[in-house]
């Protein structure tokens, strides 16, 4: 690919990373559509059909769990890439050291001053955006664990199609979400309550939707204001950064 004059191409995302991103986007939309149906079925099945011909809630639950499991697996890959990617290893940017904190403030000021102040390197991921993604991953992990906790409640017999180890492991890994959810919901009742996990799971969905709204807005904003083609990172894999005049010489 030929470089735009005056700009240099910066490789940011490999093909695998971009595929994961769009798989996650589709999974998330599917999870929200089906999740809202599971929470409160918002459309009616055709009454005239006999029950054997429709399987509406079951399909919704099936899709919801399938995309959740896809999300689980991509999360593991993303977690791996966070530390071992050849292109971008963003974990260093969430450590609250002096350099990252000042970069965080600078990027925030850049947004608040509507790009009238830009004193940081925008080639690679900055600590503001990485912190923002960290929040996303934190919410996602919470979502996955509370979801699996509710899931394993339906496997109360302790057996599953892939063996007894699976519900056993789910209990081991997710049971702590019960008291934590109760604490978050502010439950005064004695004992951990599966309904609190539900409330936490449902509320976190809205936090994630809020996150997505800002994420889309901010990436569009960067593309429009910075004019560095940021949106193409997740489509074409790279962005363009203007060569500073002193470097050009």
Partner 1 sequence: MSIDKEESVKKLFTAESAQVDTNKGDAYYDELYISCQKRIEELKKLKPLNNRVDFTESIEDQGLERRDFLKWASATTAMLMLPASFTPLVAEAAVLMNRVPVIWVELSDCAGNSEALLRSDGPKIDEIILDIISLEFHETLQAASGHQAEKQMDEAMEHFKGKYLLFVEGAVPLGMNGQFGTIGAKGETFVDHLHRAAEGAAAVVAVGSCATYGGIPAAAPNPTDSVGVMDVVKGKPIINIPACPANPSNMVGVILHFVLTGTIPELDSLLRPKFAFGYRIHDNCERRAHFDAGEYVEEWGDEGAKNNFCLYKVGCKGPMTFNNCSIIRYNEGVNWPIGVGRGCIGCSEPDFWDKYAYERPMSNANIKAPTGGVEKTVDEFGLGLLTAAGIGIGIHAAASAVAGKREDGGEY
Q: Considering Cα of 100, then 106, then 112, then 116, what sign does the dihedral take?
A: negative
Which of 158/163 has CB closer to partner 1? 158
Closest approach of Cβ 98 to partner 1, in Å?
28
Among 1, 2, 44, 244, binds partner 1 (CB under 8 A): 44
Closest approach of Cβ 126 to partner 1, in Å?
24
Q: How far apart are CA 138 and CA 132, in angstroms?
A: 10
Nearest to 64 by CA among 89, 38, 86, 90: 38
Per-residue CA distances from 140 to 39, 74, 92 (Å): 18, 11, 20
Among 16, 175, 210, 235, binds partner 1 (CB under 8 A): 175
Segment lying near partner 1 (by CB under 8 A), choices 74-82, 98-106, 152-160, 231-239 = 152-160
Segment lying near partner 1 (by CB under 8 A), choices 66-74, 150-158, 212-220, 225-233 = 150-158
Q: Considering Cα of 200, then 202, then 204, then 210, what sign does the dihedral take?
A: negative
Segment lying near partner 1 (by CB under 8 A), choices 84-92, 179-187, 213-221, 239-247 = 179-187
Q: How far apart are CA 110 and CA 100, in angstroms?
A: 15
Among 25, 45, 209, 224, binds partner 1 (CB under 8 A): 45
Nearest to 156 by CA among 165, 167, 148: 167
Among 33, 36, 184, 234, binds partner 1 (CB under 8 A): 36
Beta strands 238-242 and 7-11 are antiparallel
Q: Considering Cα of 107, then 113, then 119, then 125, what sign does the dihedral take?
A: positive
Closest approach of Cβ 238 to partner 1, in Å?
32
Q: How far apart are CA 142 and CA 181, in angstroms?
A: 10
Residues that contact partner 1, how many (by CB under 8 A): 44
DSSP 178-195: HHHHHHHHT--SSS--HH
Which of 107/178 has CB closer to partner 1? 178
Among 6, 92, 158, 163, binds partner 1 (CB under 8 A): 158
Which of 69/194 has CB closer to partner 1? 194
Interface ranges with partner 1 (CB under 8 A): 36, 39-41, 44-45, 47, 51-52, 54-58, 60, 116, 149, 152-154, 156-158, 167-168, 171, 175-176, 178-180, 187-196, 198-199, 202
């Amino acid at each position: 690919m030929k470089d735009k004059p005056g700009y240099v191409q910066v490789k940011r995302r490999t093909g695998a990373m971009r595929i994961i991103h769009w798989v996650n986007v589709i999974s998330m939309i599917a999870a929200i559509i089906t999740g809202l149906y599971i929470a409160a079925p918002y459309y009616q099945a055709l009454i005239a059909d006999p029950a054997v011909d429709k399987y509406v809630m079951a399909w919704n639950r099936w899709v919801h769990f399938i995309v959740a499991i896809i999300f689980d697996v991509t999360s593991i890959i993303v977690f791996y890439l966070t530390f071992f990617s050849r292109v971008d290893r963003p974990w260093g940017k969430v450590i609250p050291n002096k350099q990252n904190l000042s970069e965080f403030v600078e990027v925030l000021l850049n947004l608040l001053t509507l790009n009238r102040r830009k004193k940081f390197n925008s080639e690679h991921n900055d600590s503001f955006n990485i912190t923002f993604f960290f929040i996303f991953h934190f919410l996602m992990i919470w979502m996955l664990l509370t979801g699996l906790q509710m899931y394993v409640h339906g496997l109360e017999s302790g057996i599953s199609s892939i063996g007894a180890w699976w519900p056993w492991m789910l209990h081991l890994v997710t049971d702590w979400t019960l008291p934590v959810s109760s604490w978050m919901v502010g439950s005064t009742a004695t004992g951990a309550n599966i309904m609190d996990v539900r409330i936490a799971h449902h509320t976190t969905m809205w936090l994630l939707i809020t996150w997505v709204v800002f994420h889309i807005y901010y990436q569009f904003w960067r593309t429009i204001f910075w004019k560095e083609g940021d949106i193409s990172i997740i489509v074409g894999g790279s962005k363009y950064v203007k060569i500073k005049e002193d470097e050009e010489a």
